[in-house]
Amino acid sequence: MNRRTMLTAAIAATMMAAGTTAHAQDSTMQQVRDSGVLRVGVTQAPPWYSKDIISGEWTGGLGISMGKAMAEDLGVTFEPVEVTWGTAVAALQADRIDLMYVLDATDARKAAVNFPETPLLYYSLAVLARDDLNITDWADLNSPDISVSVPQATSMDAFLTENVPNADIQRFPGNAEAIAAFQAGRVDAVTLFHPPLIAARQKLGAGQIVVPKPVESRPSSVAVRQETDTAFVDWVNEQIGGYYTSGQTQLWYEEFLTEFGLDPAAVPAIMRERL
């Protein structure tokens, strides 16, 4: 390599490093304020996110209500960006979205994205199964004769893989596809945390919802980008903590259930104190 080539390479490397540093210094909070937009990852998964099939607009769900409220608090526009549960982390890393609600803070995800300290909500893992299946414990599903659908690369997928390894586990991109497989009779049961299954049972009009023993209850969270500046994750932590403590998170959840034709009193709550 001659001197000119070496000099050109050095200049290019310096410019790349400078660009990288400049981008790294652009915190999410600053980007949101500068752009005037809060980009929230969404996926068709009632009661978290619900898209109107006719208009194509994201009109309901806890994540939509909370996203709009947080955008309003910042004085910016709420912008839903469609992803899947399996691609949400990559979307954050690629700067396509600013946050994603109802992503569990697993060890694998913590290595790739950041989470606030305060949980968003709490829920229990359940199954929507054929009416003729006798399910009391998770062990009742642990058979190659039983097929179970689940969204791929989720904490639900990891739980099934560990606890019912002998079942015929069929993985799908998201909640809607996993539920559709059950609706079409391609699987015997679908495993999700209980809120989406309640909405699915309401629409399907068939199947039984069971919370197998031992009950698997856990908190869910909000995923944000990893960055040195903690302003955004600190703000998210403060916001969701306030919503939870005041009961607003539960209220948004119950409002969607009511609009969906369900009685909130007959549905498990998403607050740990009420489970």
Reported as a single tens digit per residue, the pLDDT across 59-106 is 999 999 999 999 999 999 999 999 999 899 999 999 999 999 999 999
User: Quick one: tokens of 124?
Assistant: 């229990």
Q: Which two tokens stand for residue 61?
A: 């769900």
pLDDT score of 17 = 44
Question: Per-residue pLDDT averaged across 7-19, rounded?
Answer: 42
Q: Which residue has the higher pLDDT, 57 or 23?
A: 57
pLDDT at 171 over 70: yes
Q: With b meaning 16 or more CB within 10 Å and e meaning fewer, what string describes 8-45?
A: eeeeeeeeeeeeeeeeeeebbbebbeeeebbbbbbbbb
Give the predicted TM-score (pTM) of the model.
0.77
211 has pLDDT over 50: yes
Residue 219 has pLDDT above 90, yes or no: yes
Do the beta carbons of residue 229 and residue 250 sit within 8 Å?
A: no
pLDDT of residue 76: 98
Topology annotation, domain 3-121+219-274? D-Maltodextrin-Binding Protein; domain 2 (3.40.190)
Domain 3-121+219-274 shares a fold with domain 123-217: yes
The pLDDT assigned to 260 comes to: 86
Burial 79-99 (b: 16+ CB within 10 A, else e): bbbebbbbbbbebbeeeebbb
Give me the pLDDT at residue 262, please. 84
What's domain 123-217's superfamily in CATH?
Periplasmic binding protein-like II (3.40.190.10)
Cβ neighbours, 10 Å, residue 100: 27
Q: Are 264 and 254 contacting, i.e. CB atoms less than 8 angstroms apart?
A: yes
When pLDDT is averaged across residues 108-124 and rounded to a whole number, the result is: 96
Domain locations in the chain as residue ranges: 3-121+219-274, 123-217
Q: How far apart are CA 217 and CA 228, in angstroms?
A: 32
**Do residues 108 and 222 lie in contact, with contact meaning Cβ atoms separated by under 8 Å?**
no
Cis peptide before 214 (omega within 30 of 0): yes
pLDDT at position 16 over 70: no
Higher pLDDT, 172 or 206: 172
Mean pLDDT of 169-195: 95
Of the two residues 6 and 27, the one the predictor is more confident about is 27
Runs of H (alpha helix) within 152-230: 155-163, 175-183, 194-204
What is the rounded average pLDDT for all residues in the chain? 90
